[in-house]
Amino acid sequence: MIDPEPAGASEAGGRREEIVEIASRLFAERSYRGVGMRAIASAVGVQPASIYHHFSSKADILDAIIADVTERFIAAHLYLLDPKFVTASSMRQLVTEHVVYFWQHRIAEAVGLRELKELSVARAEHVRRSRRSYQDAWICAIQVGVSGGWLPAQNPRIAALALLSMINGVNAWYREAGPLSIAEVAEMHAEMAVTGVLGGCPEAPP
Amino acid sequence: MIDPEPAGASEAGGRREEIVEIASRLFAERSYRGVGMRAIASAVGVQPASIYHHFSSKADILDAIIADVTERFIAAHLYLLDPKFVTASSMRQLVTEHVVYFWQHRIAEAVGLRELKELSVARAEHVRRSRRSYQDAWICAIQVGVSGGWLPAQNPRIAALALLSMINGVNAWYREAGPLSIAEVAEMHAEMAVTGVLGGCPEAPP
DNA sequence: GACAGTGCCTAACGATCGTTCGTTAGCGTA
DNA sequence: TACGCTAACGAACGATCGTTAGGCACTGTC
């Protein structure tokens, strides 16, 4: 007996979610343009035409994948950078949660990063704005730390961009087979980012 | 009077170099699969079939673009990480030259990063091996610093990967229109990388 | 003056692309 | 029993893809 829905992909969700999940895996492996509707359909176990009962176009699938993975994280964590309350320790916490979240959503994040230009202009702009707000919040928070004297970073903007590059880069090399859990790697990055890149002492904040 | 070879692309080089240059720009903008031979040909000012007098296939153009941009840098700079002579200051120098070189070759580097999977398996493996050797040299050099007591990095491998992510990320956000030159940004990254991420003091080496 | 080589052309090949068509089987409700 | 809805089907659409065949004009060499 073979389970008609083998991969646990569509549990309680239905075809739409199954298509999103399978397509995002394929897009991440072979790129958006490298995967045709026929490939998606056959991976789902369906005829190509059937996909159009769930999505209006191929780009619509991409929209559903990228949708708001990143936005959700940002919206839920911007408070940690609030200029009124930010501390070196809240920064460390944010870096840790950032690394872990991005790893847990690595497939959608990879597609979102790689295929941003394939998105409809409006949606791409929305994603870019959201990322920009996160980046600006980091810059602002670092400026607060510099003004407050508990962060010696010499250029808040450059430091923020370097820090974000560093923690966004984790997905490119981390593998679960290694000796460290993603949580451990995240903690180490929090240390390297805040103590190292920004120069904040472990017992710093106001 | 209009210059028959307007963009200075083919000066003294001929069609082949012109095609590589134009194709790499297009691939960087719209991805390898997003750009057809017809688009390349019309950008060059030639018929699609004519390109096959200079390249045997589309993948061959990609090969020529990626070829050995990265390898050339690595081969020319590995000596700076030689375990017998590496110092905090040679590390700083390498970071600086890395950032500048990668920016100067940003188009080919972007294509090489994004389209590695489109390369023939043998060529892709060659590129990966080359990058791996660079990364391993960094890890080894950092270990030397840790053993020598002049680098407090707690995990050389993670530190190396974080450092490389940080400096490789520059191309993703740096724009020449801003107030800082790439050389200045490179210097700041050398400081953040060696003093910050690795924890080496400015007056450190043996 | 014949010849090979180079660089480019027009035209077309088969394959694959995203998408649309008309149809149908199954199910719940009136 | 009849209706409407959902989800799926096979088949095909026009467009575009990478690539090839064959030919034409020019150049330098014997």
Give me the residue spans of the domains in chain B.
Answer: 15-64, 67-197
Mean pLDDT on B73-82: 97
pLDDT tens-digit map of B143-164: 999 999 999 999 999 999 999 9
**Protein CA A36 to sugar C1' C17 (Å):** 7
Closest CB to A169: pick one of B155, B165, B191.
Answer: B165
Quote the tokens at residue B22: 């134009």
Quote the tokens at residue B109: 């580097």
Is residue B197 exposed (0-12), middle (13-18) or buried (19+ Cβ within 10 Å)? Answer: buried
Per the CB < 8 Å rule, is B162 touching A159? no
Average pLDDT, chain B: 91
Per the CB < 8 Å rule, is B31 touching A33? yes
Of A102, A119, A161, which to mutate for an interface test with B (greatest number of B Cβ within 10 Å)? A161
Quote the tokens at residue A11: 């549990």
pLDDT tens-digit map of B17-40: 999 999 999 999 999 999 999 999
Quote the tokens at residue A85: 């309350």
Does the CB of A14 sit below 7 A from strand D?
yes
Does the CB of B47 sit below 7 A from strand C?
yes
Domains B15-64 and B67-197 share a fold: no
Is residue A37 exposed (0-12), middle (13-18) or buried (19+ Cβ within 10 Å)? Answer: middle
pLDDT beyond 80 at B176: yes
CA dihedral of residues A82, B175, B158, B68 (deg, nearest 10): 160
Q: How far is CA A71 from CA A74, A126, A131, in A?
A: 5, 9, 8
Residue (of A155, A97, A99, A69) closest to B178 by Cα position? A155
Which fold would CATH assign to domain B15-64? Arc Repressor Mutant, subunit A (1.10.10)
Residue type, A59: A
Q: Quote the pLDDT of residue A1.
A: 27
* Phi then psi dihedrals of residue B2, to 5 deg: -110, 130
Q: Quote the pLDDT of residue A14.
A: 85
Residue type, B2: I
How far does A166 lie from chain B, in Å, by closest CA?
4
Closest CB to B199: pick one of A30, A161, A196.
Answer: A196
Cβ-contact B143, B137 below 8 angstroms: no
**Protein CA A44 to sugar C1' C28 (Å):** 27
Per the CB < 8 Å rule, is B192 touching A159? yes
Average pLDDT, chain A: 91
Does the CB of A12 sit below 7 A from strand C?
no
Q: Quote the pLDDT of residue B202.
A: 52
pLDDT beyond 50 at A117: yes
Per the CB < 8 Å rule, is A117 touching B31? yes
Instruction: Return the CATH number of B67-197, one of 1.10.540.10, 2.60.20.30, 2.40.33.20, 1.10.357.10.
Output: 1.10.357.10
Residue A139 neighbours by CB under 8 Å, 6+ apart = A156, A157, A160
List protein-proximal bases of chain C (any atom < 7 A from a CB). 6-12, 16-22
Q: Which residue has the tokens 């962060």?
A: A151
Q: Quote the pLDDT of residue A7.
A: 32
pLDDT beyond 60 at A110: yes
Output A124 or B8, whichever has higher pLDDT.
A124
Cβ-contact A111, A66 below 8 angstroms: yes
